Amino acid sequence: MDNKQKDLFREGIKSQELRLSLLKKSKIINQDTYIKLTEINGIRNKYIHLKKVGKVEDDSLKVLRLFIEILNSRFSERFIINKEGRIVDKDNSQTYSVKVD
């Protein structure tokens, strides 16, 4: 580990873009998820840093849609839903029952 990497861990990562890049390079997230999170970050920056005026309703719906796509993708990488409606882990075939009230 070089000094720059050590500094990241010691001081923390201050940039959201750098965090996303590290997640992608570490293969914690894939390219598709990286692109969606980068788009969400761009929308976030409009409001957090007052960079641009946006359409709040449109932007909030877009962020919600992107998060749903990411969650669906991440879920389907590891689990399937069987014919009985139970969640099954692809790795170990463990079944999870979900009670919906």
Question: What is the arithmetic mean of pLDDT over 69-97?
Answer: 87
96: phi > 0 → left, psi -120 to 50 → alpha, else beta; which? beta
Phi and psi angles of residue 9, each rounded to the nearest 5 degrees, phi first: -75, -35
Is position 36 within any domain? yes
pTM for the predicted model, two decimal places: 0.70
Retrieve residue 100's tokens.
């919906």
Is residue 29 within 8 Å of 23, Cβ to Cβ? yes
Is position 101 within any domain? no
User: What's the domain count of the chain?
Assistant: 1
23 burial (CB, 10 Å; 0-12 / 13-18 / 19+) is middle
Is residue 98 within 8 Å of 75, Cβ to Cβ? no
Is position 86 within any domain? yes
Is position 84 within any domain? yes
**Cα–Cα distance between 51 and 59 in angstroms, integer?**
14
Domain that holds residue 35: 3-96
Residue that wins the pLDDT comparison between 39 and 18: 39
**Does the structure show a pLDDT above 80 at 1?**
no
Grouping H, G, I as helix, E, B as strand and the rest as coil, residue 87 is: strand
**Does the structure show a pLDDT above 60 at 9?**
no
